[in-house]
Structure 1
Amino acid sequence: MSVATAAYLGIDIGGTKVAARVEDDRETVGEWVFAWQPDGTVDHDLRLLREHVTALRCRIGPLAGVGVAVPATLDRDGRVTAWPTRPSWVGLDLRALLADLFPATTPRWADDGDLAAVAEARAWGHADLVYAGVGTGVGGGIVLGGRSATGHRGSCEIGHLVVDLDGVRCDCGRLGCVQAVASGPAILRRARALRGTGVTPTELVDGFVAQEDWAVEAVRRGSAALAAALAGVAELVRPSAIVIGGGFAAALPGYVDLVASAAAALGRRGHPVPPVLPARLGGASSLHGAVLAARGRS
């Protein structure tokens, strides 16, 4: 692909893969994906990232903007302070890395959940929206008045809201975070325990569609925990809608309906939980948000 007009590159750095999307002024699109090695070191990851970025830049040509969606927790200077799925990245200066990868432009980076929320708010036409992405972890973001509500820290950590004080220990060290109960890996672990044998993601989907007890119960408990967290957030910020996205949610038919039903049951008289909607951008909400960041629209 060669882009003759101004090109905008969005990159979504995930826990298991990296996705990239290019748009130009005419909305011409190209997309690429590559997977991390499961236990790769930060040095190996960065070599792989550099190889793919270099190849992309050769295909695309000059870039008018670059946006990057990041799942890791960063400090205000852009240094990684926590990333449970790729712990070797802790201490990495992301700002310096991106400046080195894209010397001819100034990359804009933000939390993947925040960027996904902005993209879904635009896609759905809601100025006030709460987004949760269920995948390797549970991310999320809040949009109020059409703008991302990131607060002082610069990200919205919906996945670390506590929903069970006596629950499973989260990767962050606390007990009962929604991520420890409702993420894709957490639901798979529960499914294996209930079934008494190994369960692959495909087997979980098949079991859930077939309404097998072990699969239904595993998914139900995860969806109930997520619904409780989102109902609590909705009490604070009063969005007009809640959107559920992420790769796990997109792959499991009926999952969003389960969350919606559990959330509706938590409404108070005169204060219903807002509608719970599926992500219009599927599992690519963060990637679309990264392109918006590249365009300066996040």
Structure 2
Amino acid sequence: MTTARAASGLLGIDVGGTKVALRAEPAGPPHPPGAPRTAGPAERSADALLHWPAARGARSDWAALEAEVTGLRERWGADFRAIGVAIPAAVDGEGRVTAWPGRPGWEGFALGGALRRLFPGATVRWADDGDLAALAEARYAGCDHVVYLGVGTGVGGGVVHGGAPLPGPGRGSCEAGHLVVDRRGPRCDCGRRGCLQATASGPATLRRAARLRGAPADFAALRAGLAESAGWAEEAVAETCAALAAGFVSLHELFRPELAVLGGGFAEGLPGFTDRVRAATAELARPGFPAPPLRPAALGGLSSLHGALALARRHLEGDTR
């Protein structure tokens, strides 16, 4: 715990399976989407990036995060008024992690209490990373009805309806990555077969690519294979795109969004990936029900981080939707 100082600004924390991104911003109105940025005081921000320790335990992870926050707080020069946290884990109403297959050592970790001790006196809120990415992309697009899928270590997703995330505070998160798209599909890390995540996540795509290639295939190799139109790369990615298309169409059938957004670091890093998913989605549209416009995430791989900042700002302003 640090000595109390004047609180100034907001902090967003995007907790991932392999790394954590942090950003501090002023507590005033957010930068208008599309407006030119200036170098003035209102544009002040501070960023940090933490790669998780190899130990993969909650205690060592949290110690590393505390150290990163301390350094960022010193660079910012003040404490924070509100903190928003995007996290892929399942967290119960008491703030305890109930499941996180990507980092199982966190199960049972009292996240809420740890955050309150790290930020005494501040407003602290956390939510699913996919929900927050959807919120950030909806705000950026100026659209109140959006579905989002993000492809990275897993597949996250979110729905914004009427300007607010669904299903809403206290009702859990939109687990779009666990939509069942193939009952006989590969085993998901949740234990079920056929989840969207089990077919379309970055690691799932790379495993399929390696099997088809008959040799190891990392992200760089997959990217190069696509550039060369290699059969193994094309087939591996086509299966991913087909699964994502099924996910988008299913969400569209339920929520009738005005916009569909594809994000995540894996998707962002493959040229033409959104076009491939858009084409696969169009093939699944049924007569009289065209698929919604599909765009790449305007915020790229930072959608969840911006969503965490939006969460902090909304609660600071008294909006608890």
- Letter of the 2:172 counterpart: G
Aligned to 1:275: 293
1:105-164, Cα deviation, whole Å (9 max, x unpaired): 021111000110000001112110000110000001000011111246321000000011
Equivalent residue number for residue 254 of structure 1: 272
Q: How many Å separate the matches in 2 of 1:43 and 1:31?
A: 23
Deviation at 1:76, TM superposition (A): 2.1
For residues 199-244 of structure 1, what are the alpha-carbon distances to aligned partners after superposition, in whole Å with 9 as ceiling and x for unaligned?
1111111111221111111011011001101101100100001100
Does 2:157 align with 1:140? yes
Contact between 1:68 and 1:109, CA under 8 Å: does it hold in 2? yes
How far apart are the structure 1 equivalents of 2:233 and 2:69? 39
Structure 1 vs Structure 2 CA RMSD? 1.4
Cα shift readout 1:245-271 (whole Å, capped 9, x = no counterpart): 001011011111111111111111110
| TM-score, normalising length: structure 1 | 0.96
Aligned residue runs from structure 1 range 73-112, under 5 A: 73-112=90-129
Name the residue aligned to 1:33: 49
1:70 maps to 87
Gaps of 5+ in 1: none
Q: Aligned in 2, Cα 1:38/1:250: closer, same or farther, shift over 3 Å?
A: farther
Q: What is the TM-score normalised by the length of structure 2?
A: 0.89
Residues 209 and 222, structure 2, Cα contact 8 Å, conserved in 1: yes
1:231 aligns to 2:249 (yes or no): yes
What residue number does 1:50 align with?
A: 66
CA displacement 1:51-72 (0-9 Å, x = unmatched):
1112222222121211110110
Q: Secondary structure at the match of 1:63?
A: coil
Between the aligned partners of 2:131 and 2:55, the Cα distance in structure 1 is: 27
2:201 aligned to which of 163, 183, 191: 183
CA contact (8 A) 2:47 2:72 kept: no
Q: SS in structure 2 opposite 1:148?
A: strand
> How far has the Cα of 1:5 moved from its partner?
8.6
Paired residues of 1:76 and 1:154 also in contact (CA < 8 A):
no
8 Å CA contact 1:10, 1:287 repeated in 2: yes
Secondary structure of 1:296's match? helix
Alignment size in residue pairs: 295
Offset at 1:41?
1.6
- 2:137 pairs with 1:120: yes
Gaps of 5+ in 2: 1-5, 29-41, 316-320
1:295 aligns with 2:297: no
* Greater Cα shift, 150-159 or 232-241: 150-159
Find 1:162's aligned residue among 180, 197, 212.
Answer: 180
**What residue in structure 2 maps to residue 222 of structure 1?**
240
Residue in structure 2 matched with residue 7 of structure 1 by the alignment = 9
Indicate conservation of the 8 Å contact 2:88/2:130, yes or no. Answer: yes
Q: In structure 2, what is the Cα distance between the partners aligned to 1:233 and 1:78?
A: 28
